[in-house]
Structure 1
Amino acid sequence: MTAKRPILLGIVGDSATGKTTMSSGIEQILGPDRVTNICSDDYHKYNRCQRKEKNICALDPDCNYIDIMEGHFEQLRRGEPILKPVYNHSTGDFDPPVYVHPKEFVIVEGLLGFASKRMRDAFDVKIYLDPQEELRVAWKVKRDTTKRGYSAEEVLASLKRREDVSANCIRPQRKFSDIVVNFYRPEGFKEETGTYLNTKLILRPTIKHPDFSEFIDQRPDRKKQCLTISLGRDEGSPVDILHITGNIQPVTAETLMDIIMDHLQGVEPLPTEGVGHYTEGTEAKNSYPLAITQLLTCYHLLSAKSMVG
């Protein structure tokens, strides 16, 4: 019997939107032995010094080998190995390429994964991370000052320089996603960056989502609901919008995760230990909205796998 081809997940978003946190949790749920995880930002044409000389931003498609990405994503979808470039964010230069053979699931995270139709067509599931901008800035400053050696002033200056490129090259990819993930602070929580963030999931009809309405509609007091689902429009098209509050109770979150799993027939239950975990500095924390988003993504990946002949 011919082996099924790998299932590809694309996770796209601007810098410091949580792409690695999202993909790491999904990999943990499915099992690292089943997942190949690559970063499309490795396909830069120029190192940091060359970009400065040429006055070109890493977010610009012209600064990246889009054609090689297209070919590599198609090869991975066919189950073929690739020789992937490696960009080192610490040195700003390139390390030797690595041989990558796709496993059952391939996660591709990065800035420009949906920049061309050929790339988009390679993915079975497409997610765009679109957190509240003030929140993204806080994440960016915290990450780049603690892990990449920059000062807060340097990070903020970099964000300002990149604003036009981000608006013109990164954010337009949002409309091509199946799910848009929007983390945002609750009203009055100006410093909150993690555990108690609310989440809005825009669910486009490009893929079939579980039906959450039966559980959600049974909540007696809508004003106190930590879960709501509504119809709306996004990018001019009708969508379902799932709202999850950061103060969702564990029993409610776990019930919703059970609902997601109940929609998967003939699949071994996924582990929920470690779901929704993230680090803030050196401190490990947990977010139920993040956990639900990661598990919903795994549901779609397993659904896609069941349909592949």
Structure 2
Amino acid sequence: MQKSRGSGPPSADTSTLCERLRVHGKPIVIGVAGDSGSGKSTYTKGIEWLLGQTLVSQISLDGYHAEDRATRRASGRSPLDPKANHLAQAVEHLTALRAGESVQIPIYDHTQGCFQPPRQHTPTPIIVVEGLHTLYSEFQALLDFSIYVDTDAAVKHAWKHQRDTQERGYADAEAEHEIARRAHHYQQWIAQQQTHADVVLRIHPSELGRLAPGQLATELPETCYHLEVIVKPGDPDQPALYFPVDLNNMTRNPAMPFMLATVPSQLEQQTVNVLHVDGHMPPAALATLEQEICAFAGLDSPAGTHHSDPARPPTVRFAQMLLAWPVLGHIAALIE
């Protein structure tokens, strides 16, 4: 494959990122936090999708809940309450994994609402840990990079209701009751973690209709969202990452509706760059972007098993890459 303009790690070392990961020795831990139903798993799958399961493994902190669904119904406790989770055990397991030891990870089956037998987890070069409390203080020293997913309440409500009723066996009324009950719990126990994240992903309903001077001339699918990716500038230098757009297509009929912008900002007394993404990303541009990132990692194509999943909307696909790119750059700097 012809070498991409964005390829090559920011180092004199001629080995690829994937090759260096295989011999690095110490696992690199990526922490992902956010509310239940916020899209944590969906939007962070890009790392595993790009590098493959031999290099990347996933751990859900849901297995460290102290109670199963039936017990919670009786006790009234919320899994968002950190005291309703075995966080100390999770810290112990993550510490062991970072030291190269295999551990027995507890498993929670959301479909049945009960715990399953634990499974042995052997450290991989990259471990992605996702859960409700992943960026709590007791975990921060164990994380090499952190992501927080902050989803608009209306979007999260729709996602969570659909997931809980169709995949987790909740009745409609029970799902609505849980969503309402947990809204306060989210503000009390979860939301404050985003101040500790290296990258924050915010997900809103699409705003392209608001930009139309009259009426939007095309119907947007329900899977179209306005995404904000908030990153702290000054991260390790990375090669250029190209996202080609054919401007001629923007004047044709029909035009593909999409928006891409970056806004330097001040947030919580910190300088950040905010990337805004909305609408349909051009397929050819997405393919080129994937190729650029794969070349940076030393791959001909994404190594994950679900990279060709047709169900992934273009905006989701683009967001996965936007999240994966700073993570890979940070990893490249760590293992130079």
TM range (shorter): 0.7 to 0.9
1:44 matched to which residue of 2? 65
Kindly state the Cα deviation for residue 49 of structure 1 after the two structures are TM-superposed: 3.1
Contact 1:7 1:304 in 2 (8 A): no
Select between 287-296 and 206-215 the one with higher mean Cα deviation.
Answer: 206-215
Within 5 Å, give how 1:260-299 maps onto structure 2. 260=293, 264=296, 267-271=298-302, 274-275=306-307, 277=309, 284-299=310-325
**Structure 1 pair 261/97, CA: closer, same or farther in 2 (3 Å)?**
closer
**Structure 1 pair 137/164, CA: closer, same or farther in 2 (3 Å)?**
same
Kindly state the Cα deviation for residue 165 of structure 1 after the two structures are TM-superposed: 1.2
Kindly state the Cα deviation for residue 215 of structure 1 after the two structures are TM-superposed: 6.7
Residue deviations 1:140-175 (CA, integer Å, cap 9, x gap): 111111111222322111111112211111111111
Residue deviations 1:180-209 (CA, integer Å, cap 9, x gap): 112222235999542x22221111247447
Q: Which runs of 5+ in 1 are unaligned?
A: 278-283
Kindly state the Cα deviation for residue 136 of structure 1 after the two structures are TM-superposed: 0.9
1:201 matched to which residue of 2? 229
Distance in structure 2 (CA, Å) of the matches to 1:206 and 1:81: 35
2:89 matched to which residue of 1? 68
Contact 1:203 1:209 in 2 (8 A): no
Distance in structure 2 (CA, Å) of the matches to 1:12 and 1:57: 17
1:146 matched to which residue of 2? 166
Q: Is structure 2 residue 221 aligned with structure 1 residue 169?
A: no
Distance in structure 1 (CA, Å) of the matches to 2:92 and 2:287: 40
1:249 matched to which residue of 2? 282
**Structure 1 pair 206/40, CA: closer, same or farther in 2 (3 Å)?**
farther
Distance in structure 1 (CA, Å) of the matches to 2:227 and 2:276: 6
Equivalent position SS for 1:233: strand
Contact 2:263 2:274 in 1 (8 A): yes
Distance in structure 2 (CA, Å) of the matches to 1:214 and 1:92: 44
Select between 94-103 and 288-297 the one with higher mean Cα deviation.
Answer: 288-297
Equivalent position SS for 1:292: helix
Residue deviations 1:74-99 (CA, integer Å, cap 9, x gap): 22222221111122223333222221
Q: Which runs of 5+ in 2 are unaligned?
A: 1-21, 210-215, 251-256
Distance in structure 1 (CA, Å) of the matches to 2:331 and 2:25: 8
Residue deviations 1:114-161 (CA, integer Å, cap 9, x gap): 122x31221222111112211111111111111112223221111111
The structure having more radius of gyration, on CA atoms, is 2
Kindly state the Cα deviation for residue 227 of structure 1 after the two structures are TM-superposed: 1.7
Equivalent position SS for 2:281: coil
| TM-score, L = length of structure 2 | 0.77
Equivalent position SS for 2:80: coil
Kindly state the Cα deviation for residue 111 of structure 1 after the two structures are TM-superposed: 1.0
Kindly state the Cα deviation for residue 213 of structure 1 after the two structures are TM-superposed: 9.6
Select between 147-156 and 136-145 the one with higher mean Cα deviation.
Answer: 147-156
1:21 matched to which residue of 2? 42
Higher RCO structure, 1 or 2 (CA under 8 Å, sep 6+): 2
Equivalent position SS for 2:276: strand
| TM-score, L = length of structure 1 | 0.83
Contact 1:7 1:301 in 2 (8 A): no
Distance in structure 1 (CA, Å) of the matches to 2:240 and 2:204: 21
Distance in structure 2 (CA, Å) of the matches to 1:256 and 1:214: 6
Q: 1:303 is aligned with what amino acid?
A: G
Q: 1:245 is aligned with what amino acid?
A: D
- RMSD (Å) for aligned C-alpha atoms: 3.2
Contact 2:24 2:125 in 1 (8 A): no
Distance in structure 2 (CA, Å) of the matches to 1:109 and 1:241: 23
Among 142, 147, 152, the residue aligned to 1:132: 152
Kindly state the Cα deviation for residue 33 of structure 1 after the two structures are TM-superposed: 2.1
Q: 2:278 is aligned with what amino acid?
A: T
Distance in structure 2 (CA, Å) of the matches to 1:166 and 1:102: 31
Contact 1:216 1:227 in 2 (8 A): no
Q: Percent identity?
A: 28
Q: 1:247 is aligned with what amino acid?
A: H
Contact 1:198 1:245 in 2 (8 A): yes
